[in-house]
Amino acid sequence: MVLAPSLVLFPLSLSAAKIWTLLWGVLALFLFHQWLRRTFSASTALAGTMLLAFNPMTLVLSTEVLSEAPFLCVLMWAFILLDRITEDPSDKRSLVILVALLSVVMLLREVAVMLVIAVSLLFFIRREPGRAALVIGGAAALYGVWLFRNLVLVGTPLTSQSTNLRFVFEHVVTPPDAPLAMEMLTRLWLNIQGFGSQLGGMLFYSVPTTLVTLPSDFFRTVVNLVGDVRFIVMALVTPLMVGGVILDVRTAPAGPARLLFLLGYLGIVLTYPIHDVRFLLPLLPLMIYTAFLSIRWLMLRPFLHRLRAHARFAPVTAAVLLFPNYVCIAEILATNVAYRSDPGAFHDRTHTRDMFRTYFSEPWGLLGAWIQAHVPDDAVIACSAKEIVPFIAPRKVLEINAGVPLPIFERMLRENGAEYLVAVGIWENITSYEFAMAESRRFRFEPIHSVANLHVFRIHSRWLTPQADRLGWTFQFDTTTAAGLLRKGRWDMLHHRYALADSAFQRAEAFMPQQPLILFQRLLLNTFREDSAQAVQVLGRMFSTARATTYLWAARQHIDAMNAARFGRRIRVPQQRAMQLYDVARLYWDLGYSYQSYALLQDIVRTDSTFFTGLLWTWHYGIQLGDSTGAARRLGTLERMDASNPVVASFRRITREATRLKTVTDPRERRDIRFAIAREYEAIELPEEALDEMERAISENPADAESWSAYAALLDRLGKTRAAAHVRKHASVSGPA
């Protein structure tokens, strides 16, 4: 809704959206100046505004299509209105505007709840419960209506992301049964470590080096100098801010509200499960304001009284102190200009210098132009990044987190009829979806186009596209590179060669110590080895590592599985032990680690041959992994235990039909056998396996209209209507026609 005015005039224009966001940033600076002007002289207000305006983080976040600039704008306006209301309680107009702002701002950023709480508590302190109720009631009503609209009237798709508010209360770095207080304290400590340098002076001298791809020697010198003096800046600024907070609370009627907001906002940022320096931007205006309060108080003391006459030179002082920021801004602008002049050539010239800096290696506009020319308008394109969307309309984009488990990845592709996949380069020749594409047994991915760090793949069903099996992924174990070592470590880990995997991952990390994908693989390895100390240590490192959010959910799932397995192995009662470890095996399968799951289930049924449920799943996993001999043994045991069980009967019929396939050559008869197997899988509620068999049935004779129709009908019965429509379209274009 905030972006709507710009997009009404310029539909799907990223440039228009960025310019519109920049205007919000300019308005935020104007309101900040007006707020300072209420307390300080014109020269001091100008100096403070300069400190905010020429901070590189302000420039960057005011040109990114994010909520930071509008939120900062609303925050400054709210501070101005709050000062007016507390100084003149009869100002009803300002009260109405303030209530409206506080009601809307929670839809912009959920963290704004701290501003609502701070203002309402201030009114309670001032014995104005009516105004406090008005603030709380307005915010709660609008937020409630918005949630009702989204969750009830419109409905939430199953694949939608959780709200940020819900995300706050999930266990990310502690076990699910740990107290919430322990989760928050652990996050607090990890975030304090991660934000330490920024909170320790670097917020004033923000140097986003990831946005400077070709740094000059002069820039490097300035960055090193700023890094050396950040603790001096902290030592000077921290007492000024603390003193300013005390002065603000004592002298300004609205001071307590600002203190409550500052403490609450900082508390949320330091306990939030995502680590991002941009969250610190709203603190910068308060830091400037409180520091200036202390400086003004000091200048009124007798020993500094003479300096008051020089207060008019505050803008000059600020201009001098901002010199490192000018250098940083100039480098950022130079990088942007060089990139925009020719994104492809810029990537070719810079990608080998620092493979972490991917911001200028993803020319979405160039990729979008190619897609517009070569991809059908009704195609669904899977991608881990939303940035491609404005450039390829009207094509639909299926956003799939690069860290989702393989079974979910495959299911989302099939359910949505995705035909193309865009993978983003991470470093060297490692891309997002690297291991999902390599390890998928249902799909093959044909590279068809690349531009800079972006790669387009055509998605092929292993069975619907006859040539798909020729596209098998080849692991390249070049052990002189981080990418090769990572692939080797992954391969060894999947095949239970844990010592070799550990060696490969450690060597890869030596090349790339801050690469979250390597840390994630190390965490997986430690959970499979049930080394809880190492796993938790790596999880803590991931939490404070940039770009690691993608993997945190899966990392937490593996930590939980490890803890459950460790607990299960200590259980002495065989039946209880089997049930506990069975849950772990099922979780491993759902996370895409089928061989670990199958090995654990085999161990369970070896130690408890009466565990019926475990035997059922061991047969199923054995069939899926091609262990027909082991599956036959399990089926024999199941039949001796309960041959009349409907699932066992289905397994027996599936086995019988699969045996027939070995001797039947007629395509129609083979198709009918596949249909029969698919019906059995559907009956015992294994829909993905039923769909696999339907695709195998089509592969027997791709020109058979009945096969395509039966496949679409099955998708309809399973509620996968988008996939059914895709199958019918595919059949009309390349199948029976």
Q: How far apart are CA 348 and CA 619, in angstroms?
A: 51
Distance CA 145, CA 160 (A): 19
**pLDDT band at 277; cut points 50, 70, 90:** confident
Residues β-bridged to residue 446 = 458
> Which is higher by pLDDT, 453 or 371?
371
656-669 average pLDDT score = 92
**What is the model's pLDDT at position 737?**
35
For 20, how many CA atoms within 13 A lie in the half-sphere containing its CB?
20
More confident residue, 429 or 657: 657
Higher model confidence: residue 533 or residue 547?
Answer: 533
Mean pLDDT of all residues belonging to the chain: 87
Which pLDDT band holds residue 572 (cuts at 50, 70, 90)? confident
Question: Among candidates 434, 390, 444, which has minimal Cα distance to 413?
Answer: 444
**Distances 277 to 120, 195, 694 between C-alpha atoms, Å:** 28, 7, 49
Ordered domains of the chain (ranges, CATH): 4-330 (no CATH), 364-471 (3.40.190), 645-737 (1.25.40)
Q: Is 626 helix (H, G, I), strand (E, B) or coil?
A: coil
Amino acid 736: pLDDT: 45
Is the preceding peptide bond at 394 cis, omega within 30 degrees of 0?
yes
Burial class (CB in 10 A: 0-12, 13-18, 19+), 126: middle
CA–CA separation, 282 and 289 (whole Å):
12
Mean pLDDT of 452-461: 93
Structure confidence at residue 156 (pLDDT): 63
How far, in Å, are 55, 249, 506, 564, 594 from residue 599 at the CA level? 55, 63, 25, 16, 9
pLDDT per residue over 293-345, tens digit each? 999 888 877 766 666 666 778 899 999 989 988 998 998 898 888 888 888 88
Residue appearing with tokens 């086995």: 655
Looking at residue 167, what is its pLDDT? 62
Asked whether the predicted pLDDT for residue 733 surpasses 70, the reply is no
CB 24 within 8 A of CB 73: yes
Per-residue pLDDT tens digits for 337-366: 888 888 888 887 777 655 445 577 888 999
Instruction: Annotate 562-611 with DSSP letters as a single string.
Output: HHHHHHHHT--SHHHHHHHHHHHHHHHHHTT-HHHHHHHHHHHHHH-TT-
Q: Are 707 and 669 in contact (CB under 8 A)?
A: no
Whole-angstrom distance, CA of residue 227 vs CA of residue 171 = 34
Q: Which band of pLDDT confidence, cut at 50, 70 and 90, is reported for residue 150?
A: confident
Q: Is the pLDDT of residue 160 over 70?
A: no
Does residue 703 have a pLDDT over 60? Answer: yes
Taking residues 596-608, report their average pLDDT.
91
% of residues, the chain, pLDDT over 70? 92
Distances in whole angstroms, Cα of residue 404 to Cα of each of 456, 526, 553: 19, 19, 9
Share of the chain above pLDDT 90, in %: 54
Q: Name the nearest CA neighbour of 321 among 231, 217, 247, 229.
A: 229
pLDDT at 594 over 80: yes
C-alpha distance across the termini of the chain, in Å: 46
Neighbours of 372 (CB within 10 A): 13
Give the separation between CA 328 and CA 227, rounded to whole angstroms. Answer: 13
- Name residue, tokens 């020429």: 54
pLDDT tens, residue by residue, 643-657: 999 999 999 999 999
Report the SS3 class of residue 458. Answer: strand
CB 190 within 8 A of CB 310: no
What is the mean predicted confidence (pLDDT) over 79-84? 95
Classify residue 154 by its DSSP letter: I
Task: State how far Cα 264 lies from the chain centre.
Answer: 24
